[in-house]
Amino acid sequence: MFIEVNDIKKSYGEGGSYVQVLKGITSGIKKGQICAILGPSGSGKSTLLNTIGGLDTIDSGSIKINNIEISKLNPKELSLYRRNLLGFIFQFYNLVPNLTVKENIQVCEYLTKTPLDLNELLEILGLTEHQKKFPSQLSGGQQQRCAIARALIKNPELLLCDEPTGALDYQASREILMLIEKINKKYGTTMLIVTHNTAIKEMVHRVIKIKDGQISEDYANTVLKPASQLEW
């Protein structure tokens, strides 16, 4: 398995404010798979994503990414792990407002020795004609495309997506999901997608449903529905 999580637990607060968010999560994802993590607000799905991304620590258990036990890494090693292996896409695009599309992407291009071809990426994501524009001149869907390009330019082995379509309308959401599907097929990037959009479960290789900090369902799809055919 490329991703192995074993009995991970995570809590916040102390005394009367103590909350256990993850209550023993165990699962595995193969390299090159897209996995959707579904669940209601407060179920622990974003916390799970953040622990895998090394943005949050766990109380106990084990997280291995490509045989790296990340829960035992020191801060410097964690920083290198995020820099070398991961790409992040968030619901809110976090683009630098005074940089153009191309410059926003180049910020991350300089972080790796083996970046993807920038012009090819701009073409795949439909940003070639927008590369000299600033974020304020783009639609929400175009800004998310830029955020995806920025995450992908590093050629990450693992792409973590937290509600990547959450701020978009139906048409833009469909287009982003089609791009995610296309990128997975072209580059073989392993992807974790945290989402409220239950339709996404039909296009992914694996589905993990979380309820109250525990896995309620964990299964693989034998047949995938193309993102272009999803309805919600």
Listing DSSP states for 52-76 in one string gives HTTSS--SEEEEEETTEEGGG--HH
Whole-number Cα distances in Å, 165 to 53, 107, 180, 198, 224: 19, 23, 11, 12, 19
Structure tokens at 154: 């590093």
- Please determine, for residue 44, whether its predicted confidence score (pLDDT) is greater than 90: yes
Q: What letter would DSSP give residue 232?
A: -
Tokens of 123: 């073409």
Q: Is residue 213 part of a domain?
A: yes
Tally of structural domains, the chain: 1
Cβ(101)–Cβ(146) under 8 Å?
Answer: yes
Please report whether residue 64 resides in a domain.
no
- Rounded to 5°, the CA angle 220-222-224 comes to 100
Q: So what's the pLDDT on residue 91?
A: 80
3-state secondary structure of 20: strand
For residue 229, what are the CA distances in angstroms to 51, 67, 148, 174? 32, 36, 22, 9
Residue 232: is its pLDDT beyond 90? no
CATH of the domain at 201: 3.40.50.300
Q: Indicate whether this model's pTM tops 0.85.
A: yes
Is 74 a member of any domain? no
Domain that holds residue 194: 30-55+79-229
Exposed e or buried b per residue across 33-53, where buried means at least 16 C-beta atoms within 10 angstroms of its C-beta: bbbbbbbeeebbbbbbbbbbb
On the question of pLDDT at 228 being above 90, the answer is yes
- Residue 22 in domain: no
Sequence-ordered list of residues with C-beta below 8 angstroms from that of 42, at least 6 positions apart, any chain: none
Confidence of residue 142 (pLDDT cuts 50, 70, 90): very high
Say yes or no to pLDDT of 92 above 90.
no
- Establish if 202 belongs to a structural domain: yes
Find all residues with CB under 8 Å of 81, minimum gap 6, and list them.
54, 65, 68, 70, 73
Quickly state the pLDDT bin for 49 (edges 50, 70, 90).
Answer: very high
**β-strand pairing of 206-211 with 214-220:** antiparallel
- Looking at this protein, which amino acid is placed at residue 40? P
Is there a contact between 226 and 202 (Cβ–Cβ < 8 Å)? no
Please report whether residue 70 resides in a domain: no
* pLDDT 10s digits, 184-224: 999 999 999 999 899 999 999 999 999 999 999 999 999 99
With a cut of 90, say whether residue 166 has pLDDT above it: no
Q: Work out the average pLDDT over 7-14.
A: 94
Asked if residue 23 is part of any domain, the answer here is no
Within-domain flag for 2: no
Q: How confident is the model at residue 158 (pLDDT cuts 50, 70, 90)?
A: very high
Torsion over CA of 77, 79, 82 and 88, rounded to 10 degrees?
Answer: 160
